[in-house]
Amino acid sequence: MASSDPNKRPRPGPWPPAPESAAMPPTTWAKKTGFRPKFSGETNASDSGQIGIQQQSTRRRESDPNLDLEAGRVRTRQEKVNGETTGEKDKPPVRKRRDSDGGSGGGVAKSTNGQAVGTTATAEPAAAATTAAAAQQPARRVSRNEEVVDVLPQIVDDDGFMSRHSHMKYELRDTPGLVPIGLYGFQHYLSILGSLILIPLVIVPAMGGNYEDTSNVVSTVLLMSGVTTLLHTSFGSRLPLIQGPSFVYLAPALAIINSPEFLALKGNKFKHIMKELQGALIISSAFQAILGYSGLMSVLLRLINPVVVAPTVAAVGLSFYSYGFPQIGTCLEIGAVQILLVIFFSLYLRKISVLGHRVFLIYAVPLGLAITWAVAFLLTAVGVYSYKGCDVNAPVSHIISDHCRENIPKMKHCRVDALHALGSAPWFRFPYPLQWGMPVFHWKMALVMCVVSIISSVDSVGSYHASSLLVASRPPTPGVLSRGIGLEGLCSLLAGLWGTGTGSATLTENVHTIAVTKMGSRRAIELGACVLIVLSLIGKVGGFIASIPDVIVAGLLCFMWTMLTALGLSNLRYSEAGSSRNIIIVGLSLFLSLSIPAYFQQYGITPKSNLQVPSYFQPYVVASHGPIRTNFGGLNYILNTLLSLHMVIAFLVAVILDNTVPGSRQERGVYVWSDPETAKREPAVAKDYGLPFRVGKLFRWVKWVGL
């Protein structure tokens, strides 16, 4: 056995050395048996999606002088054992763009005896030996030619490979050609189709609108999505993120639609309520623009971490449970088929590739929509949902026959009246600002939307961070993030002027789409946005979408809200997901986000209450019967409405607990943003996030919204 004195070089043995009959290393049996030692009793960070660092112990991990949490990476050094240098030869720093493999080894470090040690299954003896050897090393600065391991959170694809850029087909600034860009752009927008068109199909009927109103709002949404996406990829964060109607704005929009003053309106109240929504959106979007462009977002950014983003975004998806299956139950033979098809495509057939594309995983929503829609259309055409003497368009008060009263709901929810919807839509129509009339401003509704715009900004922060790790050279700087939030405010202002019914924001589903399609080219997103603008001018497109039955819309929304909840919780992979601190914070945030709003929504409702809204909209009429009843009606409206929104409660609980309960930066998973001075010196970062057409030079004095 060699001497432990590092200054004494041992005598070389025979060559080649005889194989040792040593016992199987702990890492081997640990990998085979699945044994994971937990020295601190809690899961380490590598278990939550990050490239692991060699873990000697919990205490050493947090006090490691080579661990640079601010820069988001750890510097490894070559160690000498028995007077010999172990590990590979000196390597240049890992580059950040296409030749980077994201730490290609899946987070495997080299132990002091030259054997590979897995980060998730490091045995205690090996860790102790490493610690002892490292303790004999004098502290020194890392030279430029030593290996730098990138430990920013990575994405693991379905095949189990962990990498940062190597699995992407096209990155942020790639321009492979017009045909590939067109195909991938079409694929990207088609895979996210549900998020673009489903919100108008919910809010317009709730406002009392008809097929023509729904068609016009859908066309307006397509136009605004195309325009705002072009603005965002050019003058916002410049990441390949589609802008559109966000689910964050859906719950407050439904709360405003079901306000007590609107429930008493008779006839077509669509335009009146739409003007109220426009006024609230215009004020809240101006507030969000000020929040971003003033630099206040950079201050608020210190409070927003993965433990805050995860339950907040998850609560957005969970808040619509009362709308999902109750609506599907109105036509179970269509709604259940819709859900089963989407689940079958996205899970059981997700690994089937056609011409190198995972068609069923990428197009699960549009494929399920097309098949179910076609089935419903055929059933309607053959007369399955036609009942003699029953008119689906007749008012309920005019229906006398019990036979018709029983079957009218099935006719309304199951029938596909495509001919009626297409007939009411013109061939060409240009959506124009203030098309519904002059907006109406009420301060109580505007304040509700201002709070919701903060939640939307929190959602966008998580999307910016996750997408930048996939497609960009580095995460954006706080200034670039503030610039993106400010532009989202301006985009919501445009949406309010045109009248889409909801604000414009970064769609959370972008991150999943980029990871699945492996397409992160900014040019493909911009070309797809131009196609959306052209489609918005064709009125028949909006009419065709407006003919989707309510039950199919509910089935698709169940899947979309499920994805939204899962994507929100996936932000925990940037923190120590197994930490008891984080588990309690996230659990409390989610539970209270369901329980507290339930108290407000059920307060004052008795079995004899005769509410004028369907059962799935009853959670949004809380303003008329909430527990807060002061002498100020406007204050009652604001507090009862806000405290009945699940995402608001989740955000308040998470942001307070995460910023007051002690925890290390690594445990909390604090988001790592690029340093502005470092970003200015790196040409790749400047090209990724710099403003085009020399616009950045005109606003160089605005330090807080630039690189």
Compute the distance between CA of residue 163 and CA of residue 167 in angstroms, rounded to an integer. Answer: 7
Looking at residue 397, its pLDDT comes to 58
**Residues 625-661: tens digit of each pLDDT:** 889 888 888 899 999 999 999 999 999 999 999 999 9
What is the overall mean pLDDT for the chain? 76
The four Cα atoms 576, 580, 582, 585 give a dihedral, to 10 degrees, of 170
* Residue 76 scores a pLDDT above 70: no
Report yes or no: 257 and 273 within 8 Å, Cβ to Cβ.
yes
Write the DSSP symbol of residue 345. I
Return the amino acid letter for 351: K
**Residues 482-519: tens digit of each pLDDT:** 999 999 999 999 999 999 999 999 998 888 888 888 88
Q: Say which residue the tokens 């100020």 belong to.
A: 632
- Give the side-chain half-sphere CA count within 13 A for 374: 6
Q: How confident is the model at residue 190 (pLDDT cuts 50, 70, 90)?
A: confident
Report yes or no: 174 and 165 within 8 Å, Cβ to Cβ.
no
Rounded average pLDDT over 148-157 = 41
The phi, psi pair for 91, rounded to 5°, reads -125, 145
**Residues 15-62: tens digit of each pLDDT:** 655 555 444 444 443 444 444 444 333 434 433 333 333 334 444 444
Q: Say which residue the tokens 């202002």 belong to.
A: 493
In this structure, the number of other CB atoms found within 10 A of the CB of residue 512 comes to 19
**Residues 43-54: tens digit of each pLDDT:** 344 333 333 333
Closest to 235 in 3D by CA, of 534, 458, 482, 531: 482
Rounded average pLDDT over 569-585 = 92
Question: What is the domain partition of the chain in residue ranges?
Answer: 178-574
Task: Quote the pTM value.
Answer: 0.75
* Residue 664 scores a pLDDT above 70: yes
Compute the distance between CA of residue 307 and CA of residue 668 in angstroms, rounded to an integer. Answer: 7
Report yes or no: 211 and 479 within 8 Å, Cβ to Cβ.
no
Report yes or no: 647 and 436 within 8 Å, Cβ to Cβ.
no
